[in-house]
Amino acid sequence: MKKAEKVQFIIDTLEKLYPETPIPLDHKDPFTLLIAVMLSAQCTDVRVNQVTPILFKRADNPHDMLKMSEEEIQEIIRPCGLSKSKAKGVRVSSQMIVEKHGGEVPGNFKDLEELPAVGHKTASVVMSQAFGEPAFPVDTHIHRLMYRWGLSSGKNVVQTEKDAKRLFPRELWNKLHLQIIFYGREYSPARGFRIDTSVIEKVIGARGQKP
């Protein structure tokens, strides 16, 4: 199967499997999404969704977040892991949003990536899911599957993102990156992968694991 045929098969299959793509992290606006994504580093979405209601009851905007100390934030988000560094990131980012952006989360990559503790992946999630701007955030599932499907070298997430953006139509990026994540969790995990039960791989084949 040629690469273009693989890509189209993947698009068609994912659309059949996941016609609806609810955003995994519960939020109500760009700020609460930003904080949820920051907390999701090395933590499951399920755990984040258990913690954020408690945090957002105290502070669901950057002004109220600044009224809390790092220690208070840390105590609430402890179940998410890396709580000390995440608490610092949440508070200093809130401070910059207030001081530099009038309390509103900026809707562009440059300003988002200037926020402390906000990297390109986090900015990509916020841009795509909060502002509807085309982006292709690459998490571990997407990085793994792009290699497994023979669509990327697996060298690093930067290259994987470039390959994904080159191969998939821009207008599909925001929905497709979620569809790939859902598929990776359900059919093509890192461990216990079986090609005979994997809807896509049993048709297009699969590379041995690398990422």
The answer to whether 139 is a known catalytic residue is yes
Report the distance separating Cα 146 and Cα 153, nearest Å. Answer: 8
**Vertex 34 angle, CA 186 and 102, to 5°:** 165
From CA 96, how far away is CA 48, in angstroms rounded? Answer: 23
Catalytic, out of 6, 86, 121, 163: 121
Q: How far is CA 163 from the centre of its chain?
A: 17
* Catalytic residue list contains 121: yes
CB contact at 8 A, 183 and 18: yes
Taking a C-beta distance cutoff of 8 angstroms, is the pair 82, 117 a contact?
A: no
Cβ atoms < 10 Å from Cβ of 6: 18
Which among 26, 45, 111, 139 is annotated as catalytic? 139
Give CA–CA dist 185/178, Å, rounded: 11
The CA–CA distances, whole Å, from 134 to 15, 46, 109 equal: 18, 25, 11
Catalytic residues: 121, 139
